[in-house]
Amino acid sequence: MKSSEACPVGFEALRVHAGNVAGEYFDSLSALTEWSSGTAVPAVWSERFASLQALFMPPRPTDAVDYQQALLWRTQNTAIELFTATVGVAASTLDPLVRISCYEFRAALGTAISSVSLHVVDRRRDAVHIIDAVEARQWRLPVVFLCGLLEAHFPKHYSEDPILGDAVRRDLQAVGVPMRSTAQKQAEEQFLFDMALTRATELLVLSYSQLNGKGEPNLASFLLDRAKPYRIEAAAAIKPHPSRERAGEPIAVIADEALLSDMAKRHSVLSPTKVETFLNCPWQFFAGRTLRLKERPAPPWERLDLRAQGTIGHAVFEVVFRDGASVEEAFDRVFREKCKASQVPDGYRTEAIRMELLHGVEQLVKDARLHARKGTVSLFEEKFEFDLGNGVRVAGQIDRLDFDKQRNAVVFDYKYKRKTRIDLTARENETGKRVQSGLYLAALQQMGYKPAGMVYAGFKRESSVSGWVLPGIHNELQSVASQEHMQEVAATARETTFRVFDEIASGRIQPSPVDARTCEWCNFIAVCRVEAVAEAAVAGEADGA
């Protein structure tokens, strides 16, 4: 038949053009055309549909096939057996004495097929079947491994919803709306755990990973006590021996004189943030500040990160404390502008962040300890730049600066952190791990003020303060310190900044994080060669094994 000719339609035309290639097969199919007319009782239709399995002609099995091919053959065989059984089920749902058409029986068969699942028997001996706790409720197995028993993972820990709290959920339950409270969710998790303990008939193994991905100890689930009595077997420490010696890592340093000169010029003006970034990890500073690498934009739902939330809080505090604006009005305007600029969509997560952030902002604004004293002047987002010495200049921006007629000045720096983190920030400025406080105090002197205090104000979920002020100034802060102490903080920051500049100018770019846990949130971890190691105690245990 030529391609330009019209292709005949219909079963008979198809058989004619097939010729002798599949004549017997088409003869067997021709009997099916009679099913479209006439009626029969369900038992007859059951026999007819069950005979359809003879029309399926799979290839002859061969030896030495891979697992996927063998699984395909088993699946086909299981599907045929299940189809035959389902045909009988469909017939049993119909009146055995009433004659029906093929269309009616096929509709009943379709309903029956949609209600069954195809389960292929897995005869592998090198595989473990994995089911979740919900699925495990209907199984009884000889041996069960219940793994991942970490606190807050399984059983999962639920916190009260910030929008639909438990009180609201109970009210909705009273009028017939199915809303589970936090206690009900916790009870369900406990029920799943208790049920999972009863699924084994011979052996039940409870396990959890001793260390997380950073080599830190994990916390076992508190519900493990509900499984007592049991026998504890500690996991054996494993320390594989390398198959070959690994070449030493190249020294991460820039040695080219032209590049070193360029780096010294590029970073001749340092900010407290830049210095602290280098202190945290020289490679992070090199990638972000020297190479100026940028991470790809976050997904729309994740753009309200902690940095963005802190930026919103700073902008609100400036408007409220400077202009006396309403907290809610200023917050709503700034929050909407930030979401619009970052293209953050409306939704549950956005609203949850908005409510939590607004609560923290309101707590700080209401905190009388942070109100300006009578007779003082407040400056906001005050920029500065001065010569620190040794060819290093420092530039930055102070969130808020309060000074009196004697030009005694107190710096307020807002941080979107909890109380514990605020206290830690202040302590790290005293030990030289951070330099912001010392450089800000030095900046006050260069700006013609008398350094009288440095205060960190946290506003994450609550209002918190930490820092140092001279006696008689802002006594409400209860953070009294001597002039000598603040001078020591400034001197420590000065020496640390000089050391950082020297290391930058010498080309040090080696990945060396102060805290390996921060690597998890580093934007440049994908192009970093740092390796996290287990804690010393764990390493010692492995060596002794």
Q: Token digits for 22?
A: 């599949």
Q: In this predicted structure, which of 19-23, 192-196, 366-370 has the lowest mean pLDDT?
A: 19-23
In which band, very low, low, confident or very high, does the pLDDT at 539 lie, cut at 50, 70 and 90? very low
Give pLDDT, residue 4: 45
Supply the pTM of this predicted model: 0.59
327 contacts: CB under 8 Å, gap ≥ 6: 316, 320, 361, 362, 365
DSSP 154: T
H-state helical runs in 21-146: 23-30, 42-50, 67-92, 102-114, 133-136
Give pLDDT, residue 339: 95
Give pLDDT, residue 365: 95
Mean pLDDT of the chain: 87
Q: Token digits for 83?
A: 């189809």
- Residue 203's H or E segment, with its range, is strand 200-206
C-alpha torsion sign, points 341, 347, 349, 355:
positive
pLDDT, one tens digit per residue, over 242-301 is 777 766 666 778 888 999 999 989 999 999 999 999 999 999 999 999 999 988 888 998
Chain centre to alpha carbon of residue 263: 36
H-state helical runs in 165-281: 166-174, 182-196, 257-266, 272-280
pLDDT, one tens digit per residue, over 86-133 is 999 999 999 999 999 999 999 999 999 988 888 887 777 777 778 888
pLDDT, one tens digit per residue, over 219-233 is 888 888 888 888 888
Asked if the model's pLDDT at residue 400 lies above 90, the reply is yes
The segment with the largest mean pLDDT, out of 20-29, 103-112, 134-143, is 103-112
In which band, very low, low, confident or very high, does the pLDDT at 480 lie, cut at 50, 70 and 90? confident
Q: How far apart are CA 269 and CA 271, in angstroms?
A: 7
- What is 477-510 written as a DSSP string? G--B--HHHHHHHHHHHHHHHHHHHHHHHTTB--
Asked if the model's pLDDT at residue 1 lies above 50, the reply is no
E strands of 390-499, at which residues?
A: 392-403, 408-415, 450-458, 464-469
Taking the alpha carbons at both ends of the chain, their separation in whole angstroms is: 79
Asked if the model's pLDDT at residue 331 lies above 90, the reply is yes
Asked if the model's pLDDT at residue 8 lies above 70, the reply is no
% pLDDT > 90, the chain: 49
C-alpha torsion sign, points 371, 375, 381, 382:
negative
Asked if the model's pLDDT at residue 515 lies above 90, the reply is no
Task: Determine contact, residues 474/464, Cβ cutoff 8 Å.
Answer: no
φ/ψ region of 360 (left if φ > 0, alpha if ψ in -120 to 50, else beta) reads: alpha
The number of helices, as runs of H, and strands, as runs of E, in the chain is 18, 10
Q: How far apart are CA 302 and CA 179, in angstroms?
A: 27
Closest CA to 524 of 314, 354, 277: 277
448 contacts: CB under 8 Å, gap ≥ 6: 407
Task: Determine contact, residues 388/497, Cβ cutoff 8 Å.
Answer: yes
pLDDT, one tens digit per residue, over 465-478 is 999 999 988 878 87
* pLDDT (average), residues 369-395: 93
> All domains of the chain, ordered by start, with CATH?
38-114 (no CATH), 133-227 (3.40.50.300), 255-299+366-545 (3.90.320.10), 300-365 (no CATH)
Q: How far apart are CA 356 and CA 210, in angstroms?
A: 34
pLDDT, one tens digit per residue, over 36-69 is 888 999 999 999 999 888 888 788 888 888 888 8
* pLDDT (average), residues 333-356: 94
